[in-house]
């Protein structure tokens, strides 16, 4: 797998950064879709898990580097990593995300903005990192302002039996303690060419990040459409808290994407980092 793949949206240079792999239960990843259908697209292992990327997006922006999502980080113990099939260790104690960032020509200190689509551990775990001295987690991107929906942070802080396994405080509370959150409440242009769009369903305050420049658009769709296989409207994760809401959110976003031929960037597809949305009858296919 190529660690860094680059593309241009208008005047903005972008890079997908491979942050490692995880393995999650195939049935959970495809919800009510029968296994006989999904297993031909995503073959499971002996523990019924499928391979999933933890891909992030880096945008070279005039206001500073923008990093969208941060992978799983390095704070989890061996049991956690076994359960979720995590493989994201890099070279010389780094994470694979840090290695990919270096391959793109940058260091963590160069990142000016970190935008989280939501605060689940495989999207925000890399916000912070272990302190080698044994203290509380440190900010992984020491010069960055971190951005998330205000309501998503509140949701992450008030978990229940259904949600608490995914929201882990060491991934987001050190950011709050450092005074580095910038909390957004509405859709719109956060930075010139960087747009935030509420895309609820997986969790109520999930957001997509749209990169727009020169009449072109790339959409980092995160867990709304985790893999290219999930382009089919009813193929919705069992992990989604509001699957019928996911359905309508997908329908609206994909209609926009097909009409304007957006480049869709997939966070979890292990083989397809991105592709152009093209309408084909009632379906959406990718032009790669």
pLDDT tens digit sequence for 240-272: 999 999 999 999 999 999 999 999 999 999 999
pLDDT for the residue numbered 288: 83
| pLDDT single digits (tens) 43-59 | 999 999 999 999 999 99
Whether residue 216 has pLDDT greater than 90: yes
Which two tokens mark 50?
A: 């499928």
At residue 281 the predicted structure's pLDDT band, cuts being 50, 70 and 90, is confident
Cα(133)–Cα(175) distance, integer angstroms: 19
On the question of pLDDT at 203 being above 90, the answer is yes
Strand partners, 52: 22
- For residue 181, the model assigns a pLDDT of 98
**Cα–Cα dist 113/110, whole Å:** 9
Contact 7, 14 (CB under 8 A): yes
> Does the pLDDT value for residue 1 go beyond 90?
no
Q: How confident is the model at residue 124 (pLDDT cuts 50, 70, 90)?
A: very high
Q: How confident is the model at residue 15 (pLDDT cuts 50, 70, 90)?
A: very high
Domain range list for the chain: 4-287
Cβ-defined contacts of 97-102 (< 8 Å, 24+): 97/17, 97/18, 97/19, 97/20, 97/54, 97/56, 97/70, 97/71, 97/126, 98/140, 99/3, 100/3, 100/4, 100/17, 100/18, 100/19, 100/56, 101/17, 101/58, 101/67
Q: Does residue 85 carry a pLDDT above 90? A: yes
Averaged pLDDT, 191-214: 98
Architecture of domain 4-287: 4-Layer Sandwich (3.60)
Question: Mean pLDDT throughout 203-209?
Answer: 98
Mean pLDDT along residues 200-216: 98
Strands 12-25, 4-9: pairing is antiparallel
Query: Can you tell me the mean pLDDT for 22-36?
Result: 98
In this predicted structure, what is the pLDDT of residue 266? Answer: 98
Average pLDDT, the chain: 97
């Amino acid at each position: 797998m190529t660690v860094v793949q680059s593309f241009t949206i208008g005047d903005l240079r972008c890079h997908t950064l491979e942050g490692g792999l995880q393995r999650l239960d195939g049935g959970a990843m495809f919800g009510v879709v029968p296994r006989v259908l999904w297993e031909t697209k995503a073959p499971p292992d002996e523990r019924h898990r499928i391979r999933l990327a933890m891909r992030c997006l880096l945008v070279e922006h005039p206001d500073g580097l923008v990093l969208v999502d941060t992978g799983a980080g390095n704070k989890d113990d061996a049991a956690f990593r076994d359960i979720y099939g995590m493989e994201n260790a890099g070279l010389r104690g780094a994470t694979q995300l840090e290695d990919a960032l270096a391959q793109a020509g940058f260091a963590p200190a160069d990142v000016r903005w970190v935008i989280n689509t939501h605060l689940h551990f495989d999207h925000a775990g890399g916000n912070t990192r272990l302190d080698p001295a044994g203290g509380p987690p440190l900010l992984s991107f020491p010069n960055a302002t971190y951005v998330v929906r205000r309501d998503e942070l509140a949701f992450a802080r008030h978990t229940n039996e259904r949600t608490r396994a995914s929201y882990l405080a060491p991934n987001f509370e050190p950011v709050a303690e450092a005074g580095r959150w910038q909390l957004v409440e509405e859709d719109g242009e956060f930075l010139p060419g960087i747009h935030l769009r509420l895309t609820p369903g997986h969790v109520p305050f999930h957001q997509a990040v749209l990169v727009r420049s020169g009449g072109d658009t790339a959409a980092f769709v995160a867990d709304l459409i985790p893999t290219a296989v999930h382009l089919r409207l009813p193929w919705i994760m069992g992990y989604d808290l509001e699957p019928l809401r996911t359905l309508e959110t997908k329908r609206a976003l994909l209609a926009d994407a097909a009409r304007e031929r957006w480049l869709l960037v997939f966070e979890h597809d292990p083989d397809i980092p991105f592709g152009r949305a093209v309408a084909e009858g009632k379906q959406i296919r990718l032009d790669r």
